[in-house]
Amino acid sequence: MIKTAIHPRYGLKLEGIDLAQVSAEIGYPQIRPAFEQHSLLYFPNQELNDAAHLKLGALFGPREDRSLSPDKPLPQVSMVSNRKQGDSLYKKGDSRLLDLQANMLWHTDSTFLPIPALANILLARVIPCSGTSSEFVSTRAAWEDMPAELKDKARDRYLIHDYAFSRRKIDPKLAEQHKFTHWGQQIWKSIWTNPENGKEALYIASHACAVVGMGQVEGLKLIDELINWCTQEQYIYKHHWKDGDVLIWDERAMLHRGVPWNYEQERSLSSICISATTKDGLEEMRYPHR
């Protein structure tokens, strides 16, 4: 396995490994510690069908299920795509494209769910010839460098997360859709401490709509200030997608966002989110309801 840094502060490219062959005994014992340490792993030239994608995900933990009712199960692997069923592409103004646009706000996946995500395993299926990219920052590196004054404001805080809040920033009508209002609000601690190595990272997202114990204006000002700090140029890694690329990132220590592409061309990425569990530090993140 050849390992190369992809950013001075985080991220690792791993070559010479076939993710379809990885199991609990082979490969995973090296991949998991790299995930804990580097937060973002890049595996080029992979060939994973949905079954292999799911098998890889299962090594990290339970697959996230966002289905809104037991009678309407969602596909096990979700497609992040501008292609409709069949061959046509979504057009400007369509709610699916607006949703993809909301993914272009700096976010962490699934902070609005009752069980947030540990990881996303994202795989390039169809890449437009005009190119497409995604951007990442490490909230661990940004937290480490944060000025003490701002750090003090954020430490020992709890943030309220709401899916509809981030969608409302793009389109108020989009935010009214059931899939964005269904989960209500969740409260998570502002800092996620990695139980393996004790490293702290700011836990924040475009879904963060308030800070417990702070007024609305003051809370949103702090959230903006924190996101602005973390998303400075020096923390950004921009990934230019190629066919067969797989990225796995630690949702506890990263923010990411989509970048606009030419919507006249198909771009399809397949994604599996893995839910965080007790051993990933989930219980320490909960609001202590008294």
User: Per-residue string for binding with Fe ion, 188-227, x by CB under 5 A?
Assistant: ----------------------------------------
Output the CA–CA distances (angstroms, integers) from residue 52 to 22, 73, 97, 121, 150, in the order listed: 9, 20, 28, 12, 43
Q: How far is the CB of 103 from Fe ion (least distance, A)?
A: 5
Q: How far is the CB of 111 from Fe ion (least distance, A)?
A: 10
Nearer to Fe ion, 99 or 109 (CB): 109
Indicate which single residue of 31, 98, 100, 109 sits in contact with Fe ion (rule: CB under 5 A). 109
Q: Which residue has the tokens 């976010």?
A: 107
Helix axes 28-38, 50-60, angle to 10 degrees: 70
Q: How far is the CB of 184 from Fe ion (least distance, A)?
A: 20
Tell me which stretch binds Fe ion (CB under 5 A): 55-63, 104-112, 206-214, 225-233.
104-112
Cα–Cα dist 217/215, whole Å: 6
Phi-psi region of 45 (alpha: psi -120 to 50; beta: other; left: phi over 0): left
Q: How far is the CB of 251 from Fe ion (least distance, A)?
A: 9
User: Per-residue string for binding with Fe ion, 227-266, x by CB under 5 A?
Assistant: ----------------------------------------
**Which residues lie below 8 Å from residue 45, measured CB to CB, with a gap of 6+?**
15, 244, 245
Q: How far is the CB of 147 from Fe ion (least distance, A)?
A: 28
Tell me which stretch binds Fe ion (CB under 5 A): 62-70, 105-113, 127-135, 159-167.
105-113
Nearer to Fe ion, 153 or 256 (CB): 256
Nearer to Fe ion, 153 or 252 (CB): 252
**Is residue 64 within the footprint of Fe ion (CB under 5 A)?**
no
Q: How far is the CB of 156 from Fe ion (least distance, A)?
A: 27
Q: Please report, as ranges, the residues that interact with Fe ion according to CB under 5 A.
A: 109
